[in-house]
């Protein structure tokens, strides 16, 4: 097999990036293309439609996917193929897999916002149908068309919840009434979005066991940051960054709020603790998974994050950096729109990617300052009306 017989630096493969127009997908496509892989992007362009639905926009201006890909080819001479379509439509998925025949699929193509999934019944149903059915179609395409293909699926640490014991990487050894077994780690998801990820994990595990295909589930923490080596090359390659109450994530949102003089909005007490990682480390982790694929029949789980912080710790750190830049960043505690523990034990294992060679970019004041400066540069694109949370769990 190519992945077993070729040396690290020599591996070249056909990689399909599902959701390749999104926050994680676009820099991943450039990252693999820059390293000589044959890359294709699949996307329905629905993320841009959600901006229209919610009345929001990326802080950074982003070119169309066609303009992005054309700019990349102009700058590097490397081409990226584009497949526009919906993974929930089998005819599209089948045609794409037969045309491109990927050796690895990096699957980001899901509705990824917990608040979006909790807006109302329609958004909850859409999230679960879109995410679960799309992943099922990908699984069948691998089984029927490219059975040696390695599925690299973006999961979430939110599948685990906040148990009062350490969180293992996917599986836990249990002793019960004199017997012992290794079982999937119990799941306590936070939202209908996180529930869709749990359903994905169960479906993928079943498919690997039943059909002998191979998959890696990357249970990713909250991603922060913006720039990668590739996206900084040209304004046409800029990645999106969200600050609104639906798609904006904690650290990025706090930095943008500080830049425009808006209060840093902490939900509840702020003791909610999660795993976090730099966008550059997302790219490293996906590459490590691709170059060290799971065995056939194996459903492998990696916890993909580098550090743990509480929401309040992040707000305080942004406040300190902002004040050093002459900005007044006030922390305010809002009524928590979510149903979650605001003070809890949290210790998650995350060693498997480090063992494969992950070199983390740990959170630095310089990175926070850079995000704030970027937000200041594009502050005229910030709509103050969309910053506060609107979706409520109750």
Q: Is 99 a catalytic residue?
A: no
d(CA 254, CA 322): 10
Q: What is the dihedral of CA 34, 87, 110, 242, to 10 degrees?
A: 60
Report the candidate in 330, 314, 338 with the shortest Cα–Cα distance to residue 391.
338
Report the candidate in 171, 111, 106 with the shortest Cα–Cα distance to residue 142.
106
Q: What is the DSSP letter of 294?
A: P
What is the pLDDT at residue 1?
A: 31
Is pLDDT of 77 > 50?
A: yes
Angle of helix 192-211 versus helix 121-128 axis, rounded to 10: 20
SS3 assignment, position 28: helix
The better pLDDT of the pair 11, 313 is held by 313
Q: What is the DSSP letter of 191?
A: S
What is the pLDDT at residue 276?
A: 98
Q: Is 265 a catalytic residue?
A: no
Report the candidate in 242, 207, 237 with the shortest Cα–Cα distance to residue 224.
242
d(CA 267, CA 247): 15
Whole-angstrom Cα Rg for the chain: 20
**CA end-to-end span of the chain:** 51
Angle of helix 250-259 versus helix 311-324 axis, rounded to 10: 30
Q: pLDDT-derived band of residue 105, with 50, 70 and 90 as boundaries?
A: very high
Say if residues 117 and 193 touch (Cβ distance below 8 Å). Answer: yes
What is the pLDDT at residue 7?
A: 37
Mean pLDDT for 266-275 is 98
Say if residues 207 and 214 touch (Cβ distance below 8 Å). Answer: no
d(CA 215, CA 255): 35
Say if residues 270 and 390 touch (Cβ distance below 8 Å). Answer: no
SS3 assignment, position 277: strand
For tokens 């305010």, the residue is 332
CA angle 335/118/43 to nearest 5° reads: 130
Whole-number mean pLDDT of the chain?
Answer: 96
Q: Is 156 a catalytic residue?
A: yes
Going from the C-alpha of 377 to that of each of 62, 223, 259, 292, the distances in angstroms are 15, 21, 9, 40
Which one of 197, 243, 265, 374 is the catalytic residue?
Answer: 197
For the chain, list the domains and their CATH numbers: 13-386 (3.40.50.720)
Which one of 156, 282, 306, 374 is the catalytic residue?
Answer: 156
Report the candidate in 320, 302, 236, 275 with the shortest Cα–Cα distance to residue 64.
236
pLDDT over 70, % of the chain: 97
Residues forming a β-bridge with 307: 276
What is the pLDDT at residue 11?
A: 78
Which one of 116, 193, 224, 238 is the catalytic residue?
Answer: 193
What is the pLDDT at residue 88?
A: 98
Q: pLDDT-derived band of residue 350, with 50, 70 and 90 as boundaries?
A: very high
Going from the C-alpha of 366 to that of each of 224, 240, 281, 311, 373, the distances in angstroms are 13, 20, 17, 19, 10
d(CA 96, CA 78): 20
232: Cβ contacts below 8 Å, ≥ 6 apart: none
Mean pLDDT for 140-165 is 98
366: Cβ contacts below 8 Å, ≥ 6 apart: none
Is pLDDT of 9 > 60?
A: no
What is the pLDDT at residue 186?
A: 98
């Amino acid at each position: 097999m190519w992945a077993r017989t070729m040396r690290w630096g020599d591996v070249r493969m056909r990689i399909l990036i599902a959701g390749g127009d999104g926050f994680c997908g676009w820099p991943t496509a450039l990252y693999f293309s820059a390293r000589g892989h044959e890359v294709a992007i699949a996307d329905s362009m629905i993320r841009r439609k959600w901006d229209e639905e919610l009345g929001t926009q990326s802080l950074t201006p982003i070119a169309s996917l066609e303009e992005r890909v054309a700019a990349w080819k102009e700058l590097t001479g490397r081409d990226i193929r584009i497949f526009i379509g919906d993974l929930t439509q089998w005819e599209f998925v089948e045609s794409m897999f037969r045309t491109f025949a990927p050796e690895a699929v990096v699957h980001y193509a899901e509705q990824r916002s917990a608040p979006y999934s909790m807006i109302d019944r329609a958004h909850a149903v859409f999230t679960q149908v879109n995410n679960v059915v799309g992943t099922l179609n990908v699984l069948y395409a691998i089984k029927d068309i490219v059975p040696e293909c390695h599925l690299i699926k973006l999961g979430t640490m939110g599948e685990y919840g906040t148990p009062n014991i350490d969180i293992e990487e996917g599986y836990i050894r249990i002793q019960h009434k004199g017997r012992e077994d290794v079982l999937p780690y119990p799941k306590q998801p936070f939202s209908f979005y996180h529930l869709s990820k749990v359903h994905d994990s169960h479906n993928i595990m079943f498919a690997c066991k039943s059909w002998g295909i191979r998959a890696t589930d990357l249970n990713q923490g909250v991603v922060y940051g913006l720039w990668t080596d590739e996206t900084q090359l040209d304004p046409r390659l800029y990645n999106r960054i969200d600050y609104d109450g639906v798609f904006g994530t904690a650290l990025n949102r706090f930095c943008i709020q500080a830049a425009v003089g808006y209060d840093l909005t902490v939900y509840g007490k702020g003791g909610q603790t999660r795993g976090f990682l730099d966008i550059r480390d997302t790219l490293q982790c996906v590459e490590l998974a691709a170059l060290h694929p799971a065995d056939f029949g194996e459903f492998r789980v990696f916890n993909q994050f580098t550090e743990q912080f509480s929401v309040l710790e992040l707000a305080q750190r942004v406040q300190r950096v902002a004040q050093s830049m002459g900005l007044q960043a006030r922390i305010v505690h809002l009524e928590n729109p979510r149903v979650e523990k605001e003070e809890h034990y949290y210790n998650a294992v995350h060693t498997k990617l480090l063992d494969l060679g992950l070199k983390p970019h740990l959170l630095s004041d310089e990175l926070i300052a850079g995000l704030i400066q970027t937000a200041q540069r594009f502050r005229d694109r910030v709509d103050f009306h969309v910053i506060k949370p609107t979706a409520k769990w109750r």
